[in-house]
């Protein structure tokens, strides 16, 4: 059942995101094609859906959320394009499709990533024309600009790259998971809350929920890399092991990892009771995310 509901939400998110993609025309057409190739490659649209549902949780209405939904998906997508580059993970496939540099060449993949990152901010700035509440929009933009950055997602990615093939201690592993994965989920949910007018205390609770969801989601991802079926996942399994990557699963073992996914996701869902609002789909989505098979 939740599967169909999620499908409907993915379609809703994609309809919104696609409105903000560049038209494939003009002298620089190739980069628009490369950006759109990766933006339309499917995926769970997790971040925009979490953003929209958190917005709804706090009673958010109106379309000011839309450019932010597109922006966070652009940031997520640029990070995948650059991660897949030969100098980084050197992955030829992603979601069952050839990666950007395989299709468009390395130079264009670098530029498409840069283009998406920059266009994310250009797109989010469109929200200023859609509401008179400039202060609230500015607050959301500050979250959008900080969580994916050098003290957030990129910071986590850096440590992950630096430690490839080496054993990470608890603190380092936590740093990578918190920043590389959780930070963007925190941004998504916090922006939804802020734009709907949530108080600072409410945003703090949302950030805690999002952090737990992010960690659980990443550990589940690592579990799938070990236990999953490559046809279902759309990329080769055991790629972490082959790339010499240390993950939560290689450090703590499969059983502990499974147990911790359960603890984190249950804690996240329970924390919604601290808020005055309810969104049953959001709670169901979180449970689905950490029990998913791809």
Which residues sit at the interface with a second copy, rule CB under 8 A? 22, 26-28, 30-32, 35, 78, 82, 85, 87-88, 105-108, 110-111, 113-115, 117-119, 121-122, 124-125, 128, 134-135, 137-138, 141-142, 145-146, 148-150, 154-159, 161-162, 172, 175
32 vs 217 by CB, closer to a second copy? 32
Cα–Cα distance, 80 to 64 (Å, whole number): 26
Do residues 127 and 68 lie in contact, with contact meaning Cβ atoms separated by under 8 Å? Answer: yes
60 vs 67 by CB, closer to a second copy? 67
Burial letters for 234-249: b for 16+ Cβ neighbours within 10 Å, e otherwise?
bbebeebeeeebbbbb
* In the complex, least distance from residue 199 CB atom to a second copy, rounded to whole angstroms: 19
118 vs 199 by CB, closer to a second copy? 118
* In the complex, least distance from residue 291 CB atom to a second copy, rounded to whole angstroms: 31
105 vs 253 by CB, closer to a second copy? 105
* In the complex, least distance from residue 188 CB atom to a second copy, rounded to whole angstroms: 16
120 vs 286 by CB, closer to a second copy? 120
44 vs 147 by CB, closer to a second copy? 147
Cα–Cα distance, 72 to 54 (Å, whole number): 14
Q: Which two tokens stand for residue 60?
A: 């958010």
* In the complex, least distance from residue 33 CB atom to a second copy, rounded to whole angstroms: 11
* In the complex, least distance from residue 85 CB atom to a second copy, rounded to whole angstroms: 7
55 vs 119 by CB, closer to a second copy? 119
167: left (phi over 0), alpha (psi -120 to 50) or beta: beta
């Amino acid at each position: 059942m939740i599967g169909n509901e999620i499908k409907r939400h993915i379609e809703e998110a994609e309809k919104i995101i696609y409105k903000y993609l560049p038209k494939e025309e003009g002298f620089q057409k190739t980069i628009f094609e490369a950006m759109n190739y990766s933006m339309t490659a499917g995926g769970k649209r997790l971040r925009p859906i979490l953003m929209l549902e958190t917005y709804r949780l706090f009673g958010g209405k109106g379309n000011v959320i839309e450019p932010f939904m597109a922006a966070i998906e652009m940031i997520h997508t640029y990070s995948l394009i650059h991660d897949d580059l030969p100098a980084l993970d050197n992955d030829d496939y992603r979601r069952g499709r050839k990666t950007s540099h395989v299709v468009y060449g390395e130079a264009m993949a670098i530029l498409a990533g840069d283009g998406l990152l920059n266009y994310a901010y250009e797109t989010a700035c469109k929200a200023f024309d859609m509401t008179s509440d400039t202060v609230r929009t500015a607050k959301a933009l500050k979250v959008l600009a900080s969580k994916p950055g050098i003290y957030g997602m990129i910071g986590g990615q850096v440590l992950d790259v630096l430690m490839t093939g080496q054993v990470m201690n608890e603190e380092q592993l936590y740093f990578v998971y918190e920043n590389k994965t959780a930070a963007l989920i925190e941004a998504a949910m916090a922006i939804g809350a802020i734009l709907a007018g949530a108080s600072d205390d409410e945003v703090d609770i949302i950030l805690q929920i999002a952090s737990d969801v992010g960690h659980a989601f990443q550990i589940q991802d690592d579990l799938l890399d070990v236990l999953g079926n490559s046809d279902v996942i759309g990329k080769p399994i055991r790629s972490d092991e082959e790339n010499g990557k240390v993950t939560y699963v290689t450090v703590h073992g499969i059983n502990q990892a499974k147990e911790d996914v359960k603890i984190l996701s249950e804690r996240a869902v329970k924390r919604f009771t601290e808020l005055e609002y309810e969104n049953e789909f959001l709670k169901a989505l979180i449970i689905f995310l950490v029990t998913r098979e791809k």
